[in-house]
Amino acid sequence: MPNKSTRCPRCRKGTLVYRTLQITGDIYTVCDNFPQCAYVGRLEDVKPRRRSQAG
């Protein structure tokens, strides 16, 4: 999930913020550096990957 330290993977300058599509209610992440950066990501794209636990 985006937080204050989640940098945009496209421009590396902006941070990711949530936006909700009014028609469907889907949640997306966008770069706050718009219009210089037009990154749009699905929520799944920014979830941290879980490490497999040995044992």
Q: What is the pTM of this model?
A: 0.62
How far is residue 25's CA from residue 8's CA, in Å, rounded to a whole number?
Answer: 22
What residues contact residue 14 under an 8 Å CB cut-off, 6+ apart? 7, 8, 31, 32, 33, 34, 36, 37, 39
In this predicted model, what pLDDT tens digit does every residue of 2-55 receive, in sequence order? 556 689 999 999 999 999 888 888 888 999 998 999 999 887 654 444 445 554
